[in-house]
Each structure stands twice: as structure tokens, then as C-alpha cells.
Structure 1
């Protein structure tokens, strides 16, 4: 269910905040603070849903590296995800919309997945 999925993401985000107080990650115009769960683009705060935040965090931790849908699903939802892997595409679409001018940094790699391009 959606509520269960949301709870899992929030638990993962809380767990990651408690384990390590990471410094902010910056790639191009995007800055992500995993401790405060905030994202800014060119200094302007961007509001993301938990799933979009989690996907962006993974992409920013692996700049230039192609992340397959399956790999993203495992990292976020775990091995017990039983839905369609196309759910990632919907979250990427929402993420791009939220990032505005920085959306072009998220590249689709045909038949492979997604990557965050370092500009």
C-alpha cells in the first residue's frame, strides 16, 4: 500500500539521519542536505516528496554513474518490492519537474536507467 511504502521511506530517511550526519552533497546547481532533508537549486529551496528525495540522494551520491530501475528499487524499497519497476519513471518525472532549471542534469540512459550528469 502507499501508506506502507511512505512509512518505509520515512524510516530509511530517519535511520540514515541517525547513523551519520552527512555533509551536504552538491552536484552542479543542486545541493542536497541529507541531515536536514532539504534540497536547493541555485540557492532556492525545492520541496520534494520522500521518494523523489531518496532517488535524488542516490543519484547525487553516485554522480555520472548509471543507476538501473532495479538498483534504485532495491536501494529504496528493499528486496521485497512487488510492484512495477516503472514506478521509478513516475518519480523521476516528478523529480525533474520539481528541479526546474536543474532537471536537465538527470539523464535517461536508454535501456539502462538514470544518471545525474555532472555539469
Structure 2
């Protein structure tokens, strides 16, 4: 998988491209910039929505959308997005 941050484009191993939504792209950017670190819901909210009030469901939905995008690749990345209770 190749990710082009400016265009939010993922290119899979077969050369097919898909463009992430702005928020999915922002979330992937945040997670990649903090690879191996814990990214809290507060981190996500501030990075993606700023100081706007955002529900837990909206954050959950965005994480779910990004997971689906990554799982749909012919060769998903060797890492995964995990929730820590």
C-alpha cells in the first residue's frame, strides 16, 4: 500500500487507487504520524474536528470507515487499528 497524503490517495499492490474522504485521510495521517503510540479519542477529535463538539458515535463511525477501507485492499497493511478499552 502506498499512501499519498496530499491527495489522500491509497494505491494498492495492483495499482488501483482510491481516494479517502477528508476525515478518513486526516485520521490515517494522525495514526501514521503516531505509529506505535496510543492515539486517544481526544487526540482524534482535536486533530480532525478541532474544538467542535463531536459524539463518540461519530468518532467510532470514522474509525470503522477507515478500517473498512484498509481491509478492502487486496493486501491490507501489516498493521491494524486496535481499540484499547
> TM-score under structure 2 normalisation?
0.76
Please report the RMSD computed on the Cα atoms of aligned residues, expressed in angstroms: 2.0
More strand by share: 1
Match of 1:109 in 2: 83
Deviations 1:86-118 (A, max 9, x none): 31111111111112242672332322xxxxxxx
1:92 is matched with which residue: 48, 63, 76?
A: 63
Moved over 4 A (4+): none
Question: Which has the higher Rg, Structure 1 or Structure 2?
Answer: 1
Q: Report the CA distance shift for 1:34/1:107 in structure 2 as closer, same or farther (over 3 A).
A: closer
Q: Aligned residue for 2:31?
A: 59
| Cα shift readout 1:9-67 (whole Å, capped 9, x = no counterpart) | xxxxxxxxxxxxxxxxxxxxx32212233222334322321111110111111111111
Number of equivalences: 81
